[in-house]
């Protein structure tokens, strides 16, 4: 059996949000290495161009398309540009996330609540809807939502963020149940403590890290590449019978 073909993304086109750094960029790089043509999206075009050029320098096919996913009016153009560039769409990764607050939930403003929900929940919902006509044409379409262990059990100081990620897990299951007949698989990854700039408020805090290490079976933080590898499994035919599933990558935190 040729296992290289099982994990190959040759001929596939992947759109990844929040892809200019951290987990999103690692997913883009791993997908590109597996043969996919990748569209990196985030808010700043110059940063995207720089990151896309990094991938191109390695012989990969990559394009950056700027989009603020929190602005619903920008999402249709993101999908249109992706199709205009590559003519198809096979894989959607909803990775972009926002968490402008860290502290007690009662101190979270309504403005912050709306921003978190717009980016973390409303954008994945709308992007899925917009991508549906293109994904259903694919021979092996896959949607991968990036949630969090906070979506399984609320994290201290990350109240509304945790609520948004719990809702994203539920949204994943709804799409998976309804899109099975269209041969579109929809799964969700719940990372634990991954050392990225986004999670710096956690891993840079000695008190929080000390508490976390007591709860982890694997006594370390994770890497964005480890999430990227799991995403490759879900994007490839290796996971062809998996949909609506919740995959944790958290060092055993949720055991």
Q: What is the pTM of this model?
A: 0.95
Q: Is 241 a catalytic residue?
A: no
Q: Is the pLDDT of residue 2 over 90?
A: no
Topology annotation, domain 3-248? Rossmann fold (3.40.50)
**What are the residue ranges spanned by the domains of the chain?**
3-248
DSSP letter for each residue of the chain = --HHHHT--TT-EEEEES-SSHHHHHHHHHHHHTT-EEEEE-S-HHHHHHHHHHHHTTT-EEEE----TTSGGGHHHHHHHHHHHHS---EEEE--------B-GGG--HHHHHHHHIIIIIHHHHHHHHHHHHHTTSSSEEEEEE--GGGTSPPTTBHHHHHHHHHHHHHHHHHHHHHGGGTEEEEEEEE-SB-SGGGHHHHT-HHHHHHHHHH-SS-S-B-HHHHHHHHHHHHSGGGTT--S-EEEESTTTT-
Q: Is the pLDDT of residue 203 over 60?
A: no
How do residues 136-184 score in pLDDT, each as one tens digit? 999 999 999 999 999 999 988 899 999 999 999 999 999 999 999 999 9
């Amino acid at each position: 059996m040729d296992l290289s073909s099982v994990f190959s993304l040759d001929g596939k086109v992947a759109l990844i949000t929040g892809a200019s750094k951290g987990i999103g960029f690692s997913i883009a790089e791993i997908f590109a290495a597996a043969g996919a043509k990748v569209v990196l999206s985030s808010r700043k075009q110059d940063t995207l161009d720089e990151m896309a050029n990094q991938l191109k320098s390695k012989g990969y096919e990559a394009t950056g398309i700027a989009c603020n996913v929190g602005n619903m009016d920008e999402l249709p153009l993101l999908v249109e540009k992706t199709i205009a560039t590559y003519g198809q769409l096979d894989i959607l990764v909803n990775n972009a996330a926002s968490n402008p607050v860290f502290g007690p939930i009662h101190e979270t403003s309504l403005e912050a609540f709306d921003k978190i929900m717009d980016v973390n929940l409303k954008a994945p919902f709308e992007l899925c809807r917009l991508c549906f006509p293109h994904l259903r044409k694919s021979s092996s379409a896959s949607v991968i939502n990036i949630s969090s262990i906070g979506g399984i059990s609320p994290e201290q100081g990350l109240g509304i963020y945790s609520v948004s990620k719990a809702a994203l897990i539920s949204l994943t299951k709804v799409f998976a149940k309804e899109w099975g007949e269209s041969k579109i698989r929809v799964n969700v990854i719940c990372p634990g403590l991954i050392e990225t700039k986004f999670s710096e408020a956690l891993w840079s805090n000695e008190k929080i890290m000390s508490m976390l290490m007591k709860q982890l079976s694997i006594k370390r933080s994770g890497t964005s590449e480890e999430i990227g590898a799991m995403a490759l499994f879900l994007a490839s035919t290796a996971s062809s019978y998996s949909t609506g599933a919740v995959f944790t990558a958290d060092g055993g935190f949720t055991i």
